[in-house]
Copies of this chain bind each other. A is one copy, B any other.
Protein backbone atom coordinates (compact mmCIF):
# COMPACT_ATOMS: atom_id res chain seq x y z
CA UNK A 1 0.00 0.00 0.00
CA UNK A 2 1.27 3.44 -0.90
CA UNK A 3 0.79 6.56 1.18
CA UNK A 4 0.07 10.17 0.33
CA UNK A 5 0.87 12.81 2.90
CA UNK A 6 -1.29 15.93 2.99
CA UNK A 7 0.09 18.72 5.17
CA UNK A 8 -2.49 21.38 5.92
CA UNK A 9 -1.82 25.03 6.64
CA UNK A 10 -1.92 28.33 4.79
CA UNK A 11 1.46 29.22 6.32
CA UNK A 12 2.98 26.10 4.75
CA UNK A 13 1.70 26.91 1.28
CA UNK A 14 2.81 30.52 1.57
CA UNK A 15 6.26 29.36 2.61
CA UNK A 16 6.18 31.18 5.94
CA UNK A 17 6.71 27.81 7.61
CA UNK A 18 9.04 25.19 6.15
CA UNK A 19 7.35 21.80 6.03
CA UNK A 20 9.65 19.77 8.28
CA UNK A 21 6.81 17.37 9.15
CA UNK A 22 6.77 16.15 5.58
CA UNK A 23 10.50 15.43 5.52
CA UNK A 24 10.32 13.66 8.88
CA UNK A 25 7.40 11.47 7.82
CA UNK A 26 9.07 10.62 4.53
CA UNK A 27 12.24 9.45 6.24
CA UNK A 28 10.55 7.39 8.94
CA UNK A 29 8.19 5.70 6.48
CA UNK A 30 11.02 4.95 4.05
CA UNK A 31 13.04 3.32 6.82
CA UNK A 32 10.40 0.67 7.32
CA UNK A 33 9.63 0.31 3.63
CA UNK A 34 6.26 2.03 3.63
CA UNK A 35 6.15 3.76 0.30
CA UNK A 36 5.36 7.48 0.37
CA UNK A 37 4.14 8.31 -3.12
CA UNK A 38 3.33 12.01 -2.87
CA UNK A 39 3.32 14.96 -0.54
CA UNK A 40 0.84 17.79 -0.88
CA UNK A 41 0.43 21.03 1.07
CA UNK A 42 -2.89 22.85 0.93
CA UNK A 43 -4.33 25.96 2.55
CA UNK A 44 -6.66 25.95 5.55
CA UNK A 45 -9.64 25.74 3.25
CA UNK A 46 -12.25 22.98 3.46
CA UNK A 47 -12.59 22.58 -0.32
CA UNK A 48 -8.82 22.34 -0.80
CA UNK A 49 -8.42 19.84 2.04
CA UNK A 50 -11.32 17.77 0.77
CA UNK A 51 -9.93 17.72 -2.77
CA UNK A 52 -6.44 16.66 -1.72
CA UNK A 53 -7.68 13.87 0.55
CA UNK A 54 -10.27 12.61 -1.93
CA UNK A 55 -7.75 12.51 -4.79
CA UNK A 56 -5.34 10.40 -2.76
CA UNK A 57 -8.16 7.97 -1.91
CA UNK A 58 -9.18 7.80 -5.58
CA UNK A 59 -5.64 6.71 -6.40
CA UNK A 60 -6.17 3.85 -3.93
CA UNK A 61 -3.75 5.21 -1.41
CA UNK A 62 -3.78 5.59 2.33
CA UNK A 63 -3.87 9.32 3.08
CA UNK A 64 -2.11 10.75 6.13
CA UNK A 65 -2.94 14.36 7.02
CA UNK A 66 -1.14 16.66 9.44
CA UNK A 67 -2.63 19.83 10.84
CA UNK A 68 -6.07 21.22 11.38
CA UNK A 69 -7.03 19.29 14.52
CA UNK A 70 -6.82 22.13 17.07
CA UNK A 71 -9.76 23.96 18.60
CA UNK A 72 -9.51 27.22 16.62
CA UNK A 73 -11.63 28.27 13.69
CA UNK A 74 -8.76 27.56 11.26
CA UNK A 75 -8.78 23.90 12.11
CA UNK A 76 -11.24 22.03 9.96
CA UNK A 77 -9.56 18.81 8.84
CA UNK A 78 -11.60 16.54 11.08
CA UNK A 79 -14.94 17.93 9.86
CA UNK A 80 -13.94 17.66 6.22
CA UNK A 81 -12.73 14.08 6.48
CA UNK A 82 -15.70 12.99 8.62
CA UNK A 83 -17.98 14.31 5.88
CA UNK A 84 -16.03 12.36 3.24
CA UNK A 85 -16.71 9.20 5.28
CA UNK A 86 -20.31 10.21 6.01
CA UNK A 87 -19.47 9.75 9.69
CA UNK A 88 -21.15 12.02 12.25
CA UNK A 89 -18.91 13.59 14.91
CA UNK A 90 -19.63 12.26 18.39
CA UNK A 91 -18.31 13.51 21.71
CA UNK A 92 -16.22 10.82 23.41
CA UNK A 93 -16.40 11.26 27.17
CA UNK A 94 -13.01 9.62 27.96
CA UNK A 95 -11.23 12.08 25.65
CA UNK A 96 -13.12 14.98 27.19
CA UNK A 97 -12.24 13.79 30.73
CA UNK A 98 -8.62 13.51 29.65
CA UNK A 99 -8.69 17.07 28.32
CA UNK A 100 -10.28 18.41 31.52
CA UNK A 101 -7.64 16.67 33.62
CA UNK A 102 -4.84 17.97 31.41
CA UNK A 103 -6.04 21.57 31.64
CA UNK A 104 -6.51 21.27 35.42
CA UNK A 105 -2.93 20.04 35.76
CA UNK A 106 -1.69 23.07 33.81
CA UNK A 107 -3.88 25.33 35.94
CA UNK A 108 -5.61 26.68 32.85
CA UNK A 109 -9.36 27.11 32.38
CA UNK A 110 -10.84 24.81 29.75
CA UNK A 111 -13.05 26.49 27.21
CA UNK A 112 -16.19 25.10 25.55
CA UNK A 113 -14.40 25.38 22.20
CA UNK A 114 -12.07 22.64 23.43
CA UNK A 115 -15.06 20.27 23.32
CA UNK A 116 -14.59 19.91 19.58
CA UNK A 117 -11.26 18.25 20.29
CA UNK A 118 -13.10 15.43 22.07
CA UNK A 119 -15.33 14.80 19.06
CA UNK A 120 -14.56 11.74 16.99
CA UNK A 121 -16.03 10.66 13.63
CA UNK A 122 -18.17 7.58 14.27
CA UNK A 123 -16.16 4.40 13.83
CA UNK A 124 -12.75 6.09 13.88
CA UNK A 125 -9.92 4.63 15.91
CA UNK A 126 -8.45 7.09 18.42
CA UNK A 127 -4.64 7.37 18.62
CA UNK A 128 -3.75 8.74 22.04
CA UNK A 129 -1.62 11.90 21.91
CA UNK A 130 0.61 11.97 24.97
CA UNK A 131 2.13 15.32 24.00
CA UNK A 132 -0.89 17.47 23.27
CA UNK A 133 -4.63 17.87 23.33
CA UNK A 134 -5.62 16.67 19.85
CA UNK A 135 -5.65 12.88 19.49
CA UNK A 136 -4.81 11.24 16.19
CA UNK A 137 -7.66 9.57 14.30
CA UNK A 138 -7.68 6.60 11.93
CA UNK A 139 -10.67 6.23 9.62
CA UNK A 140 -11.33 3.24 7.39
CA UNK A 141 -14.44 2.75 5.33
CA UNK A 142 -15.97 2.91 1.90
CA UNK A 143 -13.85 5.79 0.53
CA UNK A 144 -10.63 4.18 1.79
CA UNK A 145 -8.34 4.90 4.68
CA UNK A 146 -7.27 8.22 6.23
CA UNK A 147 -5.08 8.93 9.26
CA UNK A 148 -5.39 12.38 10.84
CA UNK A 149 -2.45 13.69 12.84
CA UNK A 150 -1.96 17.06 14.54
CA UNK A 151 0.35 19.62 12.91
CA UNK A 152 2.51 20.50 15.95
CA UNK A 153 5.78 18.84 14.97
CA UNK A 154 6.62 16.96 18.17
CA UNK A 155 3.04 15.77 18.59
CA UNK A 156 2.87 14.61 14.97
CA UNK A 157 6.25 12.89 15.21
CA UNK A 158 5.37 11.11 18.43
CA UNK A 159 2.10 9.79 17.02
CA UNK A 160 3.68 8.74 13.74
CA UNK A 161 6.49 6.80 15.38
CA UNK A 162 4.57 5.34 18.32
CA UNK A 163 1.10 4.72 16.90
CA UNK A 164 1.04 4.81 13.12
CA UNK A 165 4.21 3.07 11.93
CA UNK A 166 3.92 0.07 14.30
CA UNK A 167 0.36 -0.55 13.05
CA UNK A 168 1.41 -0.27 9.40
CA UNK A 169 4.28 -2.67 9.99
CA UNK A 170 2.05 -4.98 12.03
CA UNK A 171 -0.47 -5.44 9.27
CA UNK A 172 2.15 -5.92 6.59
CA UNK A 173 2.00 -2.56 4.85
CA UNK A 174 5.75 -2.28 5.29
CA UNK A 175 7.84 -3.79 2.58
CA UNK A 176 11.47 -3.91 1.60
CA UNK A 177 13.03 -1.02 3.43
CA UNK A 178 14.89 1.93 2.00
CA UNK A 179 17.90 2.08 4.30
CA UNK A 180 20.71 4.58 4.07
CA UNK A 181 24.04 5.26 5.71
CA UNK A 182 26.07 8.45 5.71
CA UNK A 183 29.83 8.64 5.26
CA UNK A 184 31.39 11.98 6.22
CA UNK A 185 34.52 13.33 4.55
CA UNK A 186 36.26 16.67 4.83
CA UNK A 187 39.14 18.47 3.19
CA UNK A 188 38.49 17.27 -0.37
CA UNK A 189 36.43 19.06 -3.02
CA UNK A 190 33.44 17.25 -4.47
CA UNK A 191 35.29 16.54 -7.72
CA UNK A 192 38.13 14.79 -5.88
CA UNK A 193 35.66 12.77 -3.83
CA UNK A 194 33.92 11.79 -7.06
CA UNK A 195 37.20 10.70 -8.65
CA UNK A 196 37.84 8.30 -5.79
CA UNK A 197 34.27 6.98 -5.46
CA UNK A 198 33.36 6.83 -9.15
CA UNK A 199 35.47 3.76 -9.93
CA UNK A 200 33.89 1.98 -6.93
CA UNK A 201 30.27 2.60 -7.84
CA UNK A 202 29.92 -0.61 -9.82
CA UNK A 203 31.41 -2.56 -6.93
CA UNK A 204 29.06 -0.84 -4.44
CA UNK A 205 25.94 -1.54 -6.53
CA UNK A 206 23.06 -2.09 -5.92
CA UNK A 207 23.69 0.62 -3.32
CA UNK A 208 23.32 4.11 -4.72
CA UNK A 209 25.72 6.90 -3.81
CA UNK A 210 24.66 10.54 -3.48
CA UNK A 211 27.19 13.37 -3.08
CA UNK A 212 26.19 16.03 -0.57
CA UNK A 213 28.71 18.86 -0.49
CA UNK A 214 28.58 21.46 2.29
CA UNK A 215 30.86 23.72 4.32
CA UNK A 216 31.94 20.83 6.48
CA UNK A 217 33.03 18.67 3.56
CA UNK A 218 31.35 16.19 1.27
CA UNK A 219 28.97 13.67 2.79
CA UNK A 220 28.18 10.50 0.88
CA UNK A 221 24.76 8.96 1.36
CA UNK A 222 24.72 5.28 0.55
CA UNK A 223 21.21 3.94 0.03
CA UNK A 224 19.89 0.42 -0.28
CA UNK A 225 16.59 0.36 -2.14
CA UNK A 226 14.25 -2.50 -1.48
CA UNK A 227 16.71 -5.05 -0.15
CA UNK A 228 15.83 -7.30 2.78
CA UNK A 229 16.78 -5.26 5.88
CA UNK A 230 19.58 -7.59 7.06
CA UNK A 231 21.19 -7.65 3.63
CA UNK A 232 20.82 -3.89 3.32
CA UNK A 233 22.58 -3.30 6.63
CA UNK A 234 25.38 -5.74 5.80
CA UNK A 235 25.99 -4.13 2.42
CA UNK A 236 25.96 -0.64 3.92
CA UNK A 237 28.49 -1.67 6.58
CA UNK A 238 30.78 -3.24 3.98
CA UNK A 239 30.52 -0.19 1.73
CA UNK A 240 31.32 2.11 4.65
CA UNK A 241 34.49 0.14 5.33
CA UNK A 242 35.43 0.21 1.65
CA UNK A 243 35.11 4.00 1.61
CA UNK A 244 37.09 4.35 4.82
CA UNK A 245 39.98 2.69 3.00
CA UNK A 246 39.92 5.18 0.11
CA UNK A 247 39.67 8.30 2.29
CA UNK A 248 42.45 8.04 4.87
CA UNK A 249 42.77 11.35 6.71
CA UNK A 250 39.49 12.58 5.22
CA UNK A 251 36.71 10.26 6.34
CA UNK A 252 36.18 11.27 9.93
CA UNK A 253 32.91 9.58 10.70
CA UNK A 254 29.51 8.22 9.78
CA UNK A 255 25.90 9.19 10.42
CA UNK A 256 25.74 12.60 12.04
CA UNK A 257 29.21 12.44 13.61
CA UNK A 258 30.62 15.89 14.28
CA UNK A 259 34.30 16.50 13.52
CA UNK A 260 34.79 18.45 16.78
CA UNK A 261 33.43 15.51 18.80
CA UNK A 262 35.61 13.05 16.86
CA UNK A 263 38.67 15.25 17.50
CA UNK A 264 37.90 15.47 21.22
CA UNK A 265 37.54 11.69 21.46
CA UNK A 266 40.95 11.19 19.81
CA UNK A 267 42.54 13.70 22.20
CA UNK A 268 40.82 12.13 25.22
CA UNK A 269 42.18 8.71 24.27
CA UNK A 270 45.69 10.18 24.27
CA UNK A 271 45.10 12.40 27.33
CA UNK A 272 45.90 15.52 25.34
CA UNK A 273 44.53 18.99 26.06
CA UNK A 274 43.77 21.60 23.38
CA UNK A 275 43.70 25.38 23.01
CA UNK A 276 42.83 27.80 20.23
CA UNK A 277 44.11 31.18 19.02
CA UNK A 278 41.58 32.69 16.65
CA UNK A 279 41.72 35.84 14.61
CA UNK A 280 39.43 35.79 11.57
CA UNK A 281 37.16 33.06 13.00
CA UNK A 282 36.56 35.13 16.14
CA UNK A 283 35.74 32.21 18.45
CA UNK A 284 33.94 29.89 16.06
CA UNK A 285 36.48 27.07 16.50
CA UNK A 286 36.26 27.31 20.28
CA UNK A 287 32.48 27.44 20.01
CA UNK A 288 32.36 24.27 17.88
CA UNK A 289 34.58 22.45 20.40
CA UNK A 290 32.72 23.75 23.47
CA UNK A 291 29.42 22.64 21.93
CA UNK A 292 30.43 19.00 22.43
CA UNK A 293 29.18 17.60 25.76
CA UNK A 294 32.09 16.76 28.04
CA UNK A 295 34.54 19.02 26.19
CA UNK A 296 36.06 20.26 29.45
CA UNK A 297 38.47 17.38 29.97
CA UNK A 298 40.24 18.23 26.69
CA UNK A 299 39.49 21.86 25.87
CA UNK A 300 41.18 24.50 28.00
CA UNK A 301 40.18 27.60 26.03
CA UNK A 302 42.34 30.16 24.30
CA UNK A 303 42.46 33.64 22.90
CA UNK A 304 40.27 35.48 20.41
CA UNK A 305 42.96 37.71 18.97
CA UNK A 306 40.91 39.71 16.52
CA UNK A 307 42.83 42.98 16.92
CA UNK A 308 46.61 43.11 16.59
CA UNK A 309 46.86 44.56 20.10
CA UNK A 310 45.34 41.36 21.48
CA UNK A 311 47.73 39.24 19.40
CA UNK A 312 50.57 41.14 21.08
CA UNK A 313 49.14 41.45 24.59
CA UNK A 314 47.47 38.08 25.04
CA UNK A 315 49.58 35.85 22.77
CA UNK A 316 52.99 37.58 22.87
CA UNK A 317 53.15 38.01 19.11
CA UNK A 318 56.04 40.48 18.63
CA UNK A 319 54.91 43.86 17.31
CA UNK A 320 57.85 43.78 14.89
CA UNK A 321 56.56 40.55 13.34
CA UNK A 322 53.12 42.08 12.81
CA UNK A 323 54.65 45.22 11.31
CA UNK A 324 56.99 43.32 9.01
CA UNK A 325 54.76 40.49 7.77
CA UNK A 326 51.20 41.64 8.52
CA UNK A 327 48.63 39.88 10.67
CA UNK A 328 47.88 37.31 7.95
CA UNK A 329 51.28 35.65 7.63
CA UNK A 330 53.24 32.54 8.45
CA UNK A 331 55.41 34.02 11.21
CA UNK A 332 52.40 35.57 12.94
CA UNK A 333 50.22 32.45 12.86
CA UNK A 334 53.14 30.41 14.18
CA UNK A 335 53.68 32.89 17.02
CA UNK A 336 49.94 32.80 17.79
CA UNK A 337 49.96 29.01 18.17
CA UNK A 338 53.08 29.12 20.33
CA UNK A 339 51.51 31.86 22.44
CA UNK A 340 48.34 29.82 22.91
CA UNK A 341 50.35 26.82 24.14
CA UNK A 342 52.38 28.96 26.52
CA UNK A 343 49.48 30.98 27.87
CA UNK A 344 47.10 28.04 28.41
CA UNK A 345 49.50 25.20 29.14
CA UNK A 346 47.70 23.01 26.59
CA UNK A 347 49.40 20.09 24.79
CA UNK A 348 48.09 21.11 21.38
CA UNK A 349 46.72 24.20 19.70
CA UNK A 350 45.50 25.64 16.44
CA UNK A 351 45.93 29.24 15.38
CA UNK A 352 43.98 30.88 12.56
CA UNK A 353 44.47 34.25 10.88
CA UNK A 354 43.03 35.25 7.55
CA UNK A 355 41.19 37.69 5.32
CA UNK A 356 37.51 36.77 5.70
CA UNK A 357 36.22 39.77 3.75
CA UNK A 358 34.13 41.34 2.45
CA UNK A 359 36.97 43.91 2.25
CA UNK A 360 40.66 43.85 3.10
CA UNK A 361 41.96 41.64 0.29
CA UNK A 362 45.15 42.53 -1.58
CA UNK A 363 47.01 41.09 -4.57
CA UNK A 364 49.36 39.21 -2.27
CA UNK A 365 46.66 38.22 0.19
CA UNK A 366 43.34 38.03 -1.64
CA UNK A 367 40.02 37.55 0.14
CA UNK A 368 39.85 34.02 1.51
CA UNK A 369 43.57 33.76 2.31
CA UNK A 370 43.86 31.94 5.63
CA UNK A 371 46.95 30.80 7.54
CA UNK A 372 46.74 27.96 10.04
CA UNK A 373 49.33 26.82 12.56
CA UNK A 374 48.89 23.36 14.08
CA UNK A 375 50.90 22.76 17.24
CA UNK A 376 50.66 19.02 17.89
CA UNK A 377 53.16 16.53 19.29
CA UNK A 378 55.86 19.11 20.01
CA UNK A 379 56.05 20.66 16.53
CA UNK A 380 54.29 23.49 14.77
CA UNK A 381 53.19 23.09 11.16
CA UNK A 382 51.79 25.98 9.17
CA UNK A 383 49.47 25.82 6.16
CA UNK A 384 48.19 28.52 3.84
CA UNK A 385 44.93 28.07 1.94
CA UNK A 386 42.67 30.14 -0.28
CA UNK A 387 39.02 29.62 0.62
CA UNK A 388 36.15 30.57 -1.72
CA UNK A 389 32.93 32.38 -0.96
CA UNK A 390 31.50 35.07 1.26
CA UNK A 391 32.71 36.12 4.71
CA UNK A 392 30.40 33.53 6.23
CA UNK A 393 31.68 30.84 3.85
CA UNK A 394 35.32 31.63 4.56
CA UNK A 395 34.75 31.59 8.34
CA UNK A 396 32.79 28.33 8.20
CA UNK A 397 35.33 26.60 5.97
CA UNK A 398 38.27 27.89 8.03
CA UNK A 399 36.63 26.56 11.20
CA UNK A 400 36.21 23.11 9.70
CA UNK A 401 39.74 23.17 8.25
CA UNK A 402 41.14 24.04 11.69
CA UNK A 403 39.40 21.06 13.26
CA UNK A 404 40.43 18.84 10.34
CA UNK A 405 44.09 19.80 10.63
CA UNK A 406 44.10 19.10 14.35
CA UNK A 407 42.34 15.76 13.87
CA UNK A 408 44.75 14.56 11.18
CA UNK A 409 47.79 15.45 13.25
CA UNK A 410 46.43 14.04 16.51
CA UNK A 411 45.48 10.72 14.90
CA UNK A 412 48.91 10.58 13.22
CA UNK A 413 50.49 10.54 16.71
CA UNK A 414 49.39 6.90 16.86
Contact = CB atoms under 8 A, between A and B. Distances in A.
A224 B11 CA distance: 13
B285 A290 contact: no
Contacts of A268: none
B27 A395 contact: no
A358 interface: yes
A23 B59 CA distance: 27
Contacts of A52: 38
B304 A276 contact: yes
Contacts of A291: 282, 284, 391-392, 395
A314 B301 contact: yes
Indicate the size class of the contact surface on chain A. Answer: 35 or more
A359 B294 CA distance: 8
A253 to B, nearest CB: 19
A176 interface: no
Nearest to A276: B304
A15 B40 contact: no
Contacts of A283: 276, 278, 282-287, 289-290, 302, 304
A314 B344 contact: yes
A282 B299 contact: yes
A42 B22 CA distance: 12
A266 B279 CA distance: 23
Given A282-B286, A287-B281, A293 B358 contact: yes
A316 to B, nearest CB: 11
Interface stretch (A65-73, A197-205, A305-313): A305-313
Interface in A16-73: 16-20, 22-28, 30, 36-43, 48, 51-52, 55, 59
A30 B55 contact: no
Given A38-B48, A48-B38, A178-B14, A303 B306 contact: no
Query: Nearest 6 pairs between A and B by C-beta?
Result: A282-B290, A15-B26, A283-B286, A283-B283, A15-B23, A301-B306
